[in-house]
Structure 1
């Protein structure tokens, strides 16, 4: 059974009718550019073929009712009550189960963006169809059933896939007329303010703007994007994901601590964000900040440059030219940003020792997955070696699979 089938079947079982439609959005792999997004820097992710599906129908009520294949029971809330649940204060858990906060948070963020009169906010650029002629907003009740084949906690942005699928569905059913970049901003607000996870906008932009056979270069300050053909298939290369099975959670301490260090570094340098620092500024940075803060800053500054260098390599020399940049990125995350793990290091080192073109951890860190760029002919050898290395180290068996650049959100039914 596919995840789309699972979402539909869950909806029918709960409500004894078919949904109005099924919408989906992809997870993502970040090729390079880690923790640079919330520093207004550069990233180069691509959407993957693994997707989250939302079966949704309007109800004629004022309630949102949400079910998921990965949680028991139903969570429901009156639409007008959402602003009583959100935003979630910093350091606190959401007022609703966390998995449902991604869904309800999107609905809340859409209403805030639209200027629903009941929220007390002003309209912010939605199409005129956001309101009926009599002035009543179109935020009607919905039933939602969620299913996904994006691995959860592996650094593949299962959260952005949920946000993208739900935002796309509500954008259509509520006739809001929002563009993909705005929907990405809605997803980010839901994750930051409803869930309480201090992430940047890379995940949502990557999911919303995915294109087959291409990565998306994102300037996280201007939100300007450019599609960058990867050339993986023509070069006989595969992107192997090595899910260590070590789960992470962005809403907990390590991620927030790294973000705070970056903000401190920017303040000490007298700049708006670390996007405004270059490699040439690092000697001065070393003089004005403590050793740990400096290493955090050095990662962001050099990672931004590696993203630019990777774009240049892909466009000018092809995908085999990016291997050393992937490795340098991992070393920086391991030593300067300190977000790797022993499992991720074993995955990367083993892949490189078995002829991978390049490898690095991907995602927010503290667990999750690594990626390895591997020649198709070497794929089985690398996979077998990684599994053997994990067994020898006494780690849980990793989940290995290949991904390819894929399309963004769509209506599937």
Structure 2
């Protein structure tokens, strides 16, 4: 929705959008002034960067937390995930240059020509590739693209495992959908467009979970048995009512140079599936995998086999987690979270990058969190692994002590206490 920038600023200052912001950021309307100020700031950034505009729109896409199913999505498996109350926001306004111009705070200006939307090999692993890919995808769906200026600000830490990349893709998708689609595409389609751009244009073979959790919002379980038509179901749960706080622990390690480590996981799983006559592990019954185990070891190596063991088990665990949450059985749920964490470290092996000795930040973060929690709560590697974050479910009565203990080890501000956001990609 486009409005004049002075109108937006006045409404934000007067608290007109307080109820909406309270819903997005999981707080009381009286506590939304800082969020309103963020939106006013992106409007200022838009004007400062690109000059004056008659009108603009405001948009948001949240980070996500993966609760169950670590690296199961790219094997057409099941996941349990939720959007969280940190996000990437933007102000967008038309320009007359037939260019998409995007300025993210702290980064270089990125400009693409809307007449040139073919994938470029030399652009892989760049923001321009993602933008060009998403524009191409929307054009294929009937969008009549025109020049647009976008100014972005984020409090989703980059490389932190809360998926700033998916939030960026969803944010761009929400903007293009709002501005240029006569018949709006669904949040699921926005997620699929983001994944396609990342796979085909950016050159990273990611799954679909991150984009889906950011785009759809709340807590959802997704079955990717048919990736073109994933089955998405809401999971009604309030962790705070169960006496649990959701913490995301920033290990201090960055994902930036680890694309090969991530790419190896789906590649090895697919190699095992191929030996067993399938494309991905979801195509192959576990019994078939066991029968073919000697051949898989010979052709794919033992790490690939161990990773397959993890995927089969974690896929089953998701269904058990969903059932436990439906039943309000949080003890079983926490046991399953811990099981997933152990499996990720022992079998999937996505806690420590191959050959790393001095830098094992995620491993140290897990060890410290387990020590502080004792036999309470649950801890697991979060998201892609190797770097970024660790997830902990912490009993509320232990939260202050746990947060202080983790930040004494990791550094101030490294323990993020988050809430599940009820909405995904949003137009303000």
- 3-state SS of the aligned residue for 1:354? helix
Separation in 1 of the partners of 2:396 and 2:362? 22
Q: Is 1:217 aligned to residue 221 of structure 2?
A: yes
- The Cα of 1:165 is off from its aligned counterpart by 1.3
Structure 1, gaps ≥5 residues long = 115-129, 131-137, 391-395
The 8 Å contact of residues 198 and 251 in structure 1, kept in 2 or not, is answered as: no
The 8 Å contact of residues 24 and 409 in structure 1, kept in 2 or not, is answered as: yes
Count of matched residue pairs = 374
Check 1:147–1:102 CA distance in 2 against 1; reply closer, same or farther (3 A cut). Answer: farther
- Which residue of 1 is the match for residue 372 of structure 2? 354
Separation in 2 of the partners of 1:264 and 1:398? 41
Partner of residue 236 from structure 1, selected from 231, 240, 243: 243
Matches within 5 A, 1:13-32: 13-18=48-53, 19-32=55-68
Matches within 5 A, 1:126-275: 130=143, 138-176=144-182, 177-211=184-218, 215-222=219-226, 223-249=230-256, 252-275=259-282
Q: Is 1:99 aligned to residue 127 of structure 2?
A: yes
Matches within 5 A, 1:47-58: 47-58=83-94
Structure 2, gaps ≥5 residues long = 1-33, 353-359
- 3-state SS of the aligned residue for 2:157? coil
- Which residue of 1 is the match for residue 15 of structure 2? none
CA deviation vs aligned residue, 1:35-85 (integer Å, no higher than 9, x gap): 11111000101001111112111223311111110203x2222101121xx
- Which residue of 2 is the match for residue 318 of structure 1? 329
- 3-state SS of the aligned residue for 2:116? helix
Separation in 2 of the partners of 1:238 and 1:397? 18
Q: Is 1:409 aligned to residue 410 of structure 2?
A: no
- Which residue of 2 is the match for residue 7 of structure 1? 42
- Which residue of 2 is the match for residue 333 of structure 1? 344
- The Cα of 1:284 is off from its aligned counterpart by 2.1
- The Cα of 1:278 is off from its aligned counterpart by 4.8
- Which residue of 2 is the match for residue 78 of structure 1? 113
Q: Is 1:110 aligned to residue 138 of structure 2?
A: yes
- The Cα of 1:238 is off from its aligned counterpart by 0.4
The 8 Å contact of residues 346 and 389 in structure 1, kept in 2 or not, is answered as: no
- Which residue of 2 is the match for residue 384 of structure 1? 404
Check 1:178–1:357 CA distance in 2 against 1; reply closer, same or farther (3 A cut). Answer: same
RMSD: 2.0
The 8 Å contact of residues 406 and 415 in structure 2, kept in 1 or not, is answered as: no
The 8 Å contact of residues 164 and 184 in structure 1, kept in 2 or not, is answered as: yes
- 3-state SS of the aligned residue for 2:348? coil
TM-score by length of 1: 0.85
Check 1:323–1:337 CA distance in 2 against 1; reply closer, same or farther (3 A cut). Answer: same
Between 348-357 and 321-330, the greater mean CA deviation after superposition: 348-357
TM-score by length of 2: 0.82
Separation in 1 of the partners of 2:304 and 2:310? 10
Check 1:388–1:14 CA distance in 2 against 1; reply closer, same or farther (3 A cut). Answer: closer
- The Cα of 1:272 is off from its aligned counterpart by 3.2
